[in-house]
Amino acid sequence: MSDDELLEQRLCDLGLRIEGSWLEPLVEQARRELSRRGLEFGARFWLSDEWLSPAGVPGVGVPFYLAHPRLIRLERSQMLEVEGGTRKQCMMLLRHELGHAIDHAYRLHRRQRWREAFGSSSQPYPEWYRPNPASRRFVQHLDAWYAQAHPDEDFAETFAVWLNPRSRWRERYATWPALRKLEAVDQLMDAIAGTEPAVRSRERPYSLPSFRLRLKTYYKRKRERFNPGYSTNYDDDLRRLFDEGTNSKRAPTAAAFLRKHSAEIRGHVVRWTEGQELTVDYVLRHMIGRCRELGLRAKGPKQQLLMDFSILLTVHSMTYLYRGREWHAM
């Protein structure tokens, strides 16, 4: 089936399930992580149109496109990236949404210890937030420093770090003020472990069968809402490094070149930027996006291009970290 034919399909007719897909073992892993902590609150998982844990519901909606490789490819072609498209990223998002789900199940945001650590959950959600990449008052988990968006997200991000059995959060955050939030989560979870939740709703809001729109409409609306808007701050430097001439069509695109070597580049730059992984990943993603939009090509010796770009990424990452706060849409 071509993309055009697939885009004519309605979401409710896709016949997708978590069971039997690559998502199933990841969901089971998340359940095991909860169980090992004594957190048995009957978390439910279902396919929806996006990542979510609806207010008052102790469960997690997972984007439908993750349930099938063909839809993952379509998502990438339509949106340029796939949120949760790797096992690592999917687990990060599952843990984050479970933070919301357990808050809903036990109404944790009403507890004094929660409010002392994270603030008021009733604070209105902003349309935009302006994070401080250098702040150590928040954990670093999902990209765009999402913990800084709202107290609810601060809790969910902190819970996700706490839940991850490999996070070694006591060591990593030993000198950060964010450690106090992790300790608050640890205390809250210890208090509810083995207890019955206050909410046991079996609802599955926004489940896939409820969406009767076609995929082409879904993506039209999604692009309007989530236009990535890659930063143009890097254009001059990228044009100096890569080629935009018509005589370079045999050379790989700069975006493809950078994606192929991103692990190597990232490894160098993270060491040079004092381990600021989130900042490096954010700037790298935007630079790759701008290379694609500008139609640049990677012409020249491979190692020289990699070294020059690594230096460029280091400079822009450090500039962003200490001077370049930007507004992020919620």
Provide the residue range defining the domain that includes 239. 235-329
Residue 320 has pLDDT above 80, yes or no: no
Average the pLDDT over 235-240 and give the result: 92
HEC per residue, the chain: CCHHHHHCCEHHHCCCCCCCCCHHHHHHHHHHHHHHCCCCCCCEEEEECCCECCCCCCEEEEEHHHHCHHHHHHHHHHHCCCCCCCHHHHHHHHHHHHHHHHHHHHCHHHCHHHHHHHCCCCCCCCCEECCCCCCCCCCCCCHHHHHHCCHHHHHHHHHHHHHCCCCCHHHHCCCCCCHHHHHHHHHHHHHHCCCCCCCCCCCCCCCHHHCCCEHHHHHHHHHHHCCCCCCCCCHHHHHHHCECCHHHCCCCEHHHHHHHCHHHHHHHHHHHCCCCHHHHHHHHHHHHHHHHHHCCECCCCHHHHHHHHHHHHHHHHHHHHHCCCCCEEC
Q: What is the mean pLDDT of residues 173-201?
A: 96
Residues 27 and 89 in one domain: yes
In this structure, is residue 79 part of a structural domain?
Answer: yes
Least trusted range by pLDDT, from 10-24, 86-100, 120-134: 120-134
State which of 189, 208, 227 marks the end of a domain.
208
Mean pLDDT score, 150-171: 97
Indicate whether this model's pTM tops 0.85. Answer: no
126: in domain: yes
What is the rounded average pLDDT of the residues 175-182? 98
The reply to whether 320 falls in a domain is yes
Query: Quick check: 52 pLDDT over 90?
Result: yes
| Domain match, 130 and 239 both | no
Q: Give pLDDT tens digits for 8-51.
A: 999 999 999 999 999 999 999 999 999 999 999 999 999 999 99
List pLDDT tens digits, range 59-76.
999 999 999 999 999 998
Domains: count for the chain = 2
Average pLDDT, the chain: 91
Q: Does residue 161 share a domain with residue 64?
A: yes
pLDDT digits (tens, 9 = 90+) for 100-119: 999 999 999 999 999 999 99
pLDDT of residue 100: 97
pLDDT at 246 over 80: no
Q: Are residues 185 and 272 in the same domain?
A: no
197 and 239 within one domain = no
Final residue belonging to a domain, choices 193, 208, 223:
208
Q: Is residue 219 part of a domain?
A: no
